[in-house]
Amino acid sequence: MIKLTNISKRYGEGEQAVHAVRNINLDVAAGQIMGVIGESGAGKSTLIRCVNMLERPTEGCVLVDGQDLTLLNNSELPTARRNIGMIFQHFNLLSSRTVFANIALPLELAGMNKAAIKQRVNELLELVGLSHRAEAYPNALSGGQKQRVAIARALAPNPKVLLCDEATSALDPQTTQSILTLLKDINRQLGLTILLITHEMHVVKTICDRVAIISDGELIEQGDVAWFFANAKTELARRFISSTINLDIPEEYQQRLVAEPLAGALPLVRLGFSGETVDSPLISILSRELNVDVSILSADMEYAGGVKFGFMLAELDGVPAQTQAALAYLRDHKIQVEVLGYVRRHG
């Protein structure tokens, strides 16, 4: 549905030039939710604004629903943009218009008659759960309600694509969750393709099917969300992932942790479960069949992209040969195993 080929965007010329986006290739299939994540200044806003030509790329080609937008002139763009809705971090509502009139605006601009506008706006108000606030002005709404109005306005012309530019960054965690749930519902109900940019891995984990990571204007890694959590290679990706997972080694264990397998010290392992992990009761098999007791220190298991994944910190207690057999068994079952060290017993 969206296909970006060799997109670059340069601001300015010569030595002053800023290469905000460099040579980016990205495909978003119809009906998919794709998240682009990166740190501040990485080029996320520039990239998403290139998709609807709010910024014209310096190079490359932008196909949306088969149409190359870079070939259109400024008078042809407004019609093509009806296929592409967009929402923003700060909502961008018109404060002098009511909720109803904000949502009606793109329909008025498209020349729709009053009765049809009324029907469509009422449908949209219902979709975003704001029928009771139709006559309110934006100033009287909460941040979450404002974003709901912005979503309704973006959906008014029945676009095939929705672009979300840090759409939840100005919202508290609970409101963020409700907006993400709404976006996912809309994606399912309407088959809408969504491209979002964010600096929060939580957003990606909650609603995206695929994720791409951008650093210094370049896409450095991309993949299905569940795969990405378990397999991402770049340090930046791993940093984003650990920001959503709390697996610190408790202080008391840190003090007893040594690098070498001293006699009597037990291996402390970090187990990574991914979409590839074989779904069987591994922990009970270790204790029942391999005689290794597993003491779980902490675990953070998640469900994202339709797949269970997560991490666990555990101590393995058994004689060395059995512990080795247990580690091999886990690896055979596609669990990532990392021995973090060996924990000396008390005393």
Ligand X SMILES: Nc1ncnc2c1ncn2[C@@H]1O[C@H](COP(=O)(O)OP(=O)(O)OP(=O)(O)O)[C@@H](O)[C@H]1O
Interface with ligand X (CB under 6 A): 11, 18, 20, 38, 40-46, 199
Taking phi over 0 as left and psi of -120 to 50 as alpha, with beta for the rest, 12 belongs to left
Could you tell me the smallest distance in angstroms from the CB atom of residue 243 to ligand X? 15
User: Hey, what long-range contacts does 137-140 have (CB within 8 A, 24 or more apart)?
Assistant: 137/95, 137/96, 137/97, 137/98, 137/99, 138/91, 138/93, 138/94, 138/95, 138/97, 138/99, 138/102, 139/95
How far apart are CB 38 and ligand X at their closest, in Å?
5
Q: Which two tokens stand for residue 295?
A: 């003491």
Cβ of residue 99: shortest distance to ligand X, in angstroms? 27
Nearer residue to ligand X within complex by CB, 91 or 311? 91
Beta carbon nearer to ligand X, 40 or 139 = 40
User: Least distance in Å: CB of 283 to ligand X?
Assistant: 41
- How far is it, in rounded angstroms, from Cα 12 to Cα 1? 31
CB of 11 to ligand X, least distance (A): 3
- What value, to the nearest 5°, has the Cα angle with vertex 170 and ends 306 and 185? 35
Residue 318 and residue 290: Cα distance in Å, rounded?
A: 9
Provide, rounded to whole angstroms, the least separation between the CB of residue 164 and ligand X: 13
Tokens of 54: 């709010």
Report the residue number, 35 or 38, with the smaller CB distance to ligand X: 38
Contacts of 80 (CB under 8 A, 6+ apart): 64, 67, 69, 72
Task: Give me 73's structure tokens.
Answer: 């002139």
Report in angstroms how near the CB of residue 302 gets to ligand X at its nearest: 25
Neighbours of 275 (CB within 10 A): 19
Q: Could you tell me the two tokens for 198?
A: 């964010």
CB 25 within 8 A of CB 10: no
d(CA 179, CA 208): 13
By beta-carbon proximity to ligand X, the closer residue of 217 and 272 is: 217
Inter-CA distances, 176 with 64, 147, 206, 301, Å: 28, 10, 10, 21
Nearer to ligand X, 240 or 342 (CB): 240
Toward ligand X, which CB reaches closer, 38 or 159? 38
Residue 40 vs 246, nearer CB to ligand X? 40
| Complex with ligand X: residue 11 or 303, whichever CB lies closer | 11
As a whole number of angstroms, the distance between CA 22 and CA 20 comes to 7
CB of 231 to ligand X, least distance (A): 24
